[in-house]
Chain A
Amino acid sequence: DQQVKQNSPSLSVQEGRISILNCDYTNSMFDYFLWYKKYPAEGPTFLISISSIKDKNEDGRFTVFLNKSAKHLSLHIVPSQPGDSAVYFCAASVNRDDKIIFGKGTRLHILP
């Protein structure tokens, strides 16, 4: 049973526009959510996280929004740049459990 779902395998966005990546989860015990970016043949790199006590966290061009009632989070990238083309993984964890569960990823293509 997939606890973290990224239903869009891929997304194409024009350079300079906003990229919105979505993620849904089923486990109401999750209390931390993270986004990772991955280039081919490299390990994932951490982008941004959010605690369940917040509904928004911003870091430069990246903003994560959390809607607990809908069990949904999204990553906004504004403005999108060519270097943002990568696979983005949504992840979640229950703090006391410490396991981090990942979604299947969304491949983002930034078009020139």
Chain B
Amino acid sequence: DVKVTQSSRYLVKRTGEKVFLECVQDMDHENMFWYRQDPGLGLRLIYFSYDVKMKEKGDIPEGYSVSREKKERFSLILESASTNQTSMYLCASSFLDRGIRGTEAFFGQGTRLTVV
């Protein structure tokens, strides 16, 4: 079974803190993604990475950065947390060339982050 594991289910942080959200996958997937889910807005892509040390901005990258030093691990960093970053954060992974090796991305269980 594919496993995508996010390090925390729930986090509470203070405004201005630096926050790290970690994600690990065990399927040797090339692609990894960070989304946030907010009511009425669906899943919005923050960043994705298609290889180690490679990253591309998604639709809402402002206020976030990412790190991919190893293939299995993709970190989302909030440099200075703000209350509008309170959200559910979801990590996902998939194969590159998904048309050949499978089309779907697999998600972690999510991290509910509250910034106070």
Contacts and interface: CB of A to CB of B under 8 A. Distances in A.
A4 to B, nearest CB: 8
Interface string A87-103: 00101010100111111
Interface of A: 6, 9, 31-32, 34, 36, 41-46, 49, 51, 89, 91, 93, 95, 98-105
A46 B27 CA distance: 16
B31 interface: yes
Contacts of B59: 101
Given A42-B109, A51-B99, A99 B48 contact: yes
Interface stretch (B14-22, B36-44, B65-73, B78-86): B36-44
A107 B4 CA distance: 24
B31 A43 contact: no
B105 interface: yes
Interface in B49-68: 50, 56, 58-59
21 contacts: A6-B42, A32-B98, A32-B99, A34-B105, A36-B107, A41-B9, A43-B90, A43-B107, A44-B43, A45-B107, A49-B104, A89-B42, A95-B98, A98-B48, A98-B98, A99-B48, A100-B105, A104-B40, A104-B42, A105-B42, A105-B43
A46 B105 contact: yes
B2 to A, nearest CB: 10
A93 B45 CA distance: 12
B103 interface: yes
Contact of A43 (B94, B99, B103, B110): B110
